[in-house]
Amino acid sequence: MDFLKKLKEFNKQINDLESGIYLGEKRYKEIYELNKKLEAEIEKRTKDLETANRQMLTLQHILDMMTASKPISGVLNAIVNSLQTELGYLHSCIMRTFIEDGKQYLEVIAHSDDDFSSKIQLEMNLPLYEARVSYQGTEYYDNYLKNNKIYHTNNFSECLYNFLPEINPENLDQLFKNTGCKSCILIPLTTDKSHYGSLVILSKREATTDAEIRFLGLFARQIELAITISNLFQAVKSQAISDPLTGLYNRRYFEDFIKKEALRANRQNQKFSIIGLDLDYLKQINDKYGHNYGDIAIKTIGDVLKNNARSVDIAARIGGEEFNVILPGIDSEGAMIAAERIRKAIENQNIPTIGKITASLGVATYFEQTDDVDELMELADHAMYQSKHDGRNRVTLAKPTKEISWQEVAFNTFMDILAKHRVPLESEVSDNISKKLETLGINNDGLYTISDTLIKLYNPNYTLGNTKTKVLLANSLAKRFDLPKDKIDNLKVAILLYDIGNIMIPKDLLQKKTPLTEEEKDKIKSHPMIAAREILEPISGMNTILPIIENHHENWDGTGYPNELSGEQIPLESQMILLIDAYFALQEPRSYRKALEKESAIEVIKGDAGKKWNPKLVEEFISILNTEDF
């Protein structure tokens, strides 16, 4: 009995052990399966995270490129290459849709560099960038792209055949098979609220996920943003260098280009020429027919220059009725022929209402008359002005001037003032400015810089760079009144020096915030006489310039100072300086008022026409501000 009892107990223990082993094995299997699922989920999540990270990096790459100064073609090619390499697609490209002569076309504007690109270009027998397909639309285009919907298909050969009809469908099928293409995704691109084209993706995967489609939609928005930014940049760039009325380059671009052309000419020891051109009798056209017809005449000149220029020539509207043309590689003989051709073409124009128009032209050549760019432009300008004085509607070749230039007069005057300490500057300050002037040399920009530097010493509100604009404004204004070259040159020197007498007046008085006493007002009013008599009169070559500076605060109605002149008694050059000085002063802040905007400054000037300034001068001055690049 005891044996049987023990046997039963042993058997029970064995059963319990087997049951425990079974339950343990079952639990182990459950844990194992759970771990496998967890590992698979972790792997999937890791892959999703890696994909999301690649997508974020790709988008960041796009944003970095868009904010960099790269051409749009380079940005778009980098974008599609990022999409193809970083996200594992077989091929990607951007196709633009456009209409020309009533027909719809497709063209590739960017594509990834891959095996598919190489093979399809062999099939087409031309680079993808040169492919231009006449395209009448399909269900894919009409139902998806036009409606801004992403289209995915595994029937890619049928889909792409509509985009590449000149390729044999069998060859397309074989190409897709050889490259492992399983599906095609078309993502519409929209700019300026209209259909632009498509982002085309060829994938090695048959299916797409919702997350992938969402990402591609986001990716397409980045491409659209890149295209929009590029279009805006090009528009702004075009506006920055172009004259809106004529479509020619503007003064700013011309001045930059001619400096580069001079560097090229020096390297290659090659001549180039400038044609200076001025429309004759613009004021009479404006007065008789109105400014709209004056604009038509100016635009006509622009059209003539476009039609008569070589592809390498640079034609620019410098301001108002004045134009310049750079002729690279052309000597004076060739430039005179080109100028005469332009003159005749202008003379042959017949504008409705206005009738015939003419122009006066001047020619100057680098290395023949001068090897200085600033002087070259001056010589062309002087030759053109000579054509006007000789009867207009003619071409004059510039001659090298043996007379001292206005730049030399201004340079020598500045050097004399600084070297002989004619103004109360600390020796160190005076010496530093002298060294700066010597380094800059005798050229327009150097003289403008020194004038700005001196003005800033007594006027902390002064805007650096205004001297150059003042000289250019004065030059344009003087031409409106047919001032001869020598008077224009004197005016330019006077613009640089007219306010130098302010250095002799204490700073605390010039910048005083409380009302001035009569004695203080008289002291400030003395600065024109100080400039003319105490600082400049002892310097040689100043005799013709002194009256301009001495009288630049005389008002048209006789209420100015220091000599209480009125009307035509005031030198015209002095009137011009007073007007130009007031215009810029109104746009600087003062202790008793804020700086005025350009429009407000013009209104103040209009209000004082006939009081402070010559009404005709105001009319021409405002016309220049409204029509020229200032």
- Helix, strand, coil % in the chain, rounded to nearest 5: 60, 15, 25
* Distances in whole angstroms, Cα of residue 488 to Cα of each of 107, 165, 392: 56, 68, 19
Q: How far apart are CA 13 and CA 4, in angstroms?
A: 14
Hey, which residues does 95 pair with through a beta bridge? Answer: 108, 198
* Distances in whole angstroms, Cα of residue 345 to Cα of each of 48, 298, 300: 69, 14, 10
First CA to last CA distance, the chain = 125
Q: Which two tokens stand for residue 610?
A: 């006939």
Q: How big is the CA angle at 295 (ends 291 and 297), to the nearest 5 degrees? A: 115
- State the residue for tokens 């042959």: 348
Instruction: Examine the residue annotation and report whether 321 is marked as an active-site residue of this protein.
Output: yes
Q: Name the nearest CA neighbour of 539 among 412, 396, 352, 362.
A: 412
Q: Which of 224, 321, 378, 620 is catalytic?
A: 321
Q: How far apart are CA 607 and CA 184, in angstroms?
A: 70
Q: How far is CA 331 from the centre of its chain?
A: 31
Q: Which two tokens stand for residue 267?
A: 């390297």
* Distances in whole angstroms, Cα of residue 82 to Cα of each of 58, 76, 85: 6, 10, 5
Q: How far apart are CA 627 and CA 529, in angstroms?
A: 35
Q: Name the nearest CA neighbour of 361 among 429, 411, 308.
A: 308
| Rounded (10°) CA dihedral 251, 256, 258, 262 | 160
Hey, which residues does 134 pair with through a beta bridge? Answer: 105
Q: Which two tokens stand for residue 246?
A: 């004529």
Alpha helices in 332-426 (DSSP H): 332-347, 373-389, 406-419
Q: Three-state DSSP class for 192?
A: coil
Cβ proximity of 329 and 351 under 8 Å = no
Cβ proximity of 475 and 576 under 8 Å = no
**Residue 542 neighbours by CB under 8 Å, 6+ apart:** 413, 536
- State the residue for tokens 């580069």: 260
Residues belonging to the active site: 321
